[in-house]
Amino acid sequence: MRIRFPRHRLTVLDILAASRSVPAFPLHRQFHLASVEIARKESAARIGWTAIFIKSFATLCTEVPAIRDLFVRFPFRHLYRHPHSVASVSVHRLDDQGEERLIWGQLRNPESMSLADIQRELARMATAPLKDVYKDGLILERFPVLLRRIAWWWVMRFSGRKRAKHVGTFSISSLGGQGCLNAHHPVVTSASLAMGPMLEDGRMDVVMLCDHRAMDGMLGARALARLEEILTSTIVSELRNEP
């Protein structure tokens, strides 16, 4: 039996096609986050791990701006550095007809947001009407495949500013809450994080996929080490001070 391909899966196909132009390599590090988990559970506000990693990685990008560099191919090869981070988050949710689907939302300048504000924005992406949180994506899904692919081809190669605005400077795609680590998801940003489940001893597997055109392994390894430090210091402090 043939089933018509769902329109809401078209963006997935576009992202898969665009990701082929990004020569990404994975870096894996096991984080020790028992102190973060304790602070998270004791916090009066309910803060999820996605919000925590968005804030901590954006903070890292202010310390190490090179991590948010984007490779641009035309009109000549160069790196574009956006003035602030733009986090792209994959959200699995129900659409307005009650069907399950994926959307991709952006948080601009998350380093300046509180954890509570980031969590509220993530909740809005998951529950608000699609037209309010995914307007551009819904419009693009109505275009013929050729026009969609041209739009992605242009934004991935010609304009670092528009790529940062519409695609993001880094992304997060996590299935840790489902007990999985999606370590090889498609990448259309310079860096993308995936987190596994929290283990009983406080360890968590974290993978960062890096665009090798913009980042080498040494920079990525140092970034992951610093990210763990930010989580266990700055983030723990903010969690303990959340009202």
| CA 43 – CA 232 distance, rounded (Å) | 15
pLDDT per position in the chain (243 positions), as tens? 888 888 888 999 999 999 999 999 999 999 999 999 999 999 988 999 999 999 999 999 999 999 999 999 999 999 999 999 999 999 999 888 888 999 999 999 999 999 999 999 999 999 999 999 999 899 999 999 999 999 999 999 998 999 999 999 999 988 888 999 998 899 999 999 999 999 999 999 999 999 999 999 999 999 999 999 999 999 999 999 865
Per-residue CA distances from 132 to 10, 89, 136, 186 (Å): 19, 16, 10, 25
pLDDT the model gives residue 96: 83
Q: Residues near 194 by Cβ (< 8 Å), separated by ≥ 6?
A: 172, 173, 174, 175, 181, 182, 183, 185, 206, 207, 209
Structural domains of the chain ordered from first start: 7-241 (3.30.559.10)
Residue with tokens 């994959």: 90
Whether 39 and 140 have beta carbons less than 8 Å apart is answered as no
pLDDT the model gives residue 242: 64
In 3-state terms, what secondary structure has residue 74?
coil
DSSP-derived letter for residue 171 is E
pTM: 0.94
pLDDT the model gives residue 172: 95
Q: Is 45 exposed, middle or buried (0-12, 13-18, 19+ CB in 10 A)?
A: middle
| CA 215 – CA 221 distance, rounded (Å) | 10
Whether 140 and 148 have beta carbons less than 8 Å apart is answered as yes
| CA 160 – CA 166 distance, rounded (Å) | 10
